[in-house]
Amino acid sequence: MARAIWKGSIAFGLVNVPVKVYTATEDHDIRFHQVHAKDGGRIKYDRVCTVCGKSVQYADIDKAYESPEGDKVILTDEDFAKLPAAEKHEIPVLQFVPSEQIDPILFEKSYYLEPDSNTPKAYVLLATTLERIDRTALVHFTLRQKTRLSALRVRDGVLVLQTLLWPDEVRAVDFESLDGVAEPKPQEIKMAETLVETMSDDFDPDQFTDEYQIELKRVLDEAIASGTGKLVSQPEAPPAEMDAEVVDLVAALQRSLEASGRRAAKADDGAAKKTAPAKKTAKAAKKTPAEPAKKTAKKTAARKGA
């Protein structure tokens, strides 16, 4: 675990829960920097004033706001220090709400909270209480002079704080393309529900991978192995043939169900092969010419049944 980015305490009524805050997630995307295409030199950026034309050090830079009417206001660090903010070293619990009432679109960034005391009894008490009541605590969390409304919940016995967007930060949506659209037909809904059932499973994030990053890493490794720092051009694959647009929604659903059935049959066939005995008898190894045809016919019948 990286070092803590914040230290303070949770104010739970008159109970004080000392905690350390750690960033809960990390980005594994491969990073690039800009270079001059001609000679590969790194591109640097210089902070240049548009009035005097000189380079400006970061310590000499203030923040400015320009209104829609063109009025400009410059604020210094002293001006920002005068603004009201929540207690910087306290996470006050505002209220407890049913967890399902928090729209997932409001979630922003996640942090782990570690107990920061020799006797973390209050920490365990708060975590246990949140699990038993199945509610989420709404808190205020101030980080880098910015106060956010946040959700405090429990994950695997550990308190997790998730910052929330303010309601006015979520854009309103109104698509004219949805106006006057006819309701789905009962047959379409029934087939769609059947398709959902065939594709349903328990969520396991480990079975999903970032194929783009894996392929990008492979490309970079090949370029490094070539010794030139450049990728050897590969022939482009022919574009995949696309089916004509299916106008009939019922027909599209039917085709999806058939494809899902074929995938399920292949998965079952693969599982059966894995559990089959590794050794075969000499009698089984010797097959008559008619046997492969029978086996093919059986497979065809099984696919139709699925």
Query: Does pTM surpass 0.85?
Result: no
| Residue 116 placed within a domain | yes
- Whats the size of the chain, residue-wise? 306
Position of tokens 């509610």?
135
Q: What is the pLDDT of residue 294?
A: 46
Indicate which CATH number applies to the domain containing 152.
2.40.290.10
Both 148 and 254 in a single domain?
A: no
- The DSSP code sequence of 11-43 is EETTEEEEEEEEE-----PPP---B-TTT-PBP
> For residue 297, is it within any domain?
no
Count of CB atoms situated within 10 Å of the CB of 127: 22
Residue 232 lies in a domain: no
Residue 276 counted as domain residue:
no
Q: Are residues 11 and 157 in the same domain?
A: yes
User: 167-202, pLDDT tens digit by residue?
Assistant: 899 999 898 888 888 888 898 888 888 888 888 888
Residues 156/131, Cβ–Cβ less than 8 Å? no
Q: Identify the pLDDT of residue 223.
A: 78
Please tell me the number of Cα atoms within 13 Å of 165 on its side-chain side: 11
Give the DSSP H/E element, type plus range, for residue 143.
Answer: strand 135-143
Considering the domain architecture, whether residues 142 and 189 belong to the same structural domain is answered as no
- Do residue 146 and residue 195 come from a single domain? no
Q: How many structural domains compose the chain?
A: 2
Are residues 155 and 10 part of one domain?
yes
End-to-end CA distance of the chain: 49
The reply to whether 123 and 252 lie within a common domain is: no
Same domain membership, residue 253 and residue 107: no
Q: Determine, yes or no, domain membership for 135.
A: yes
Asked if 135 contacts 97 with a C-beta cutoff of 8 angstroms, the reply is: yes
Residues with pLDDT less than 50, the chain: 242, 244-246, 278-306
Print the domain residue range for 257.
182-201+248-270
Same domain, yes or no, for 87 and 130? yes
Residues 90 and 155 in one domain: yes
* Cα–Cα distances in angstroms (integers) from residue 305 to residues 147, 196, 200, 250, in the given order: 60, 19, 20, 20
Asked if residue 135 and residue 19 are part of one domain, the reply reads yes
Alpha-helical regions (H) of the chain: 77-81, 121-133, 186-198, 211-225, 249-275, 282-285, 290-305
Residues 93 and 142 reside in one and the same domain:
yes
CA distances from 260 to 194, 253, 255 (A): 11, 10, 9
| Position 155 in a domain | yes
- pLDDT at site 205: 77
In a domain, 304, yes or no: no
On whether residue 149 sits in a domain, the answer given is yes
Q: What are phi and psi of 186, to 5 degrees?
A: -55, -40
CB 142 within 8 A of CB 88: yes
Q: In terms of domains, do 141 and 100 share one? A: yes
Q: Distance (Å, rounded) from C-alpha 153 to C-alpha 138?
A: 9
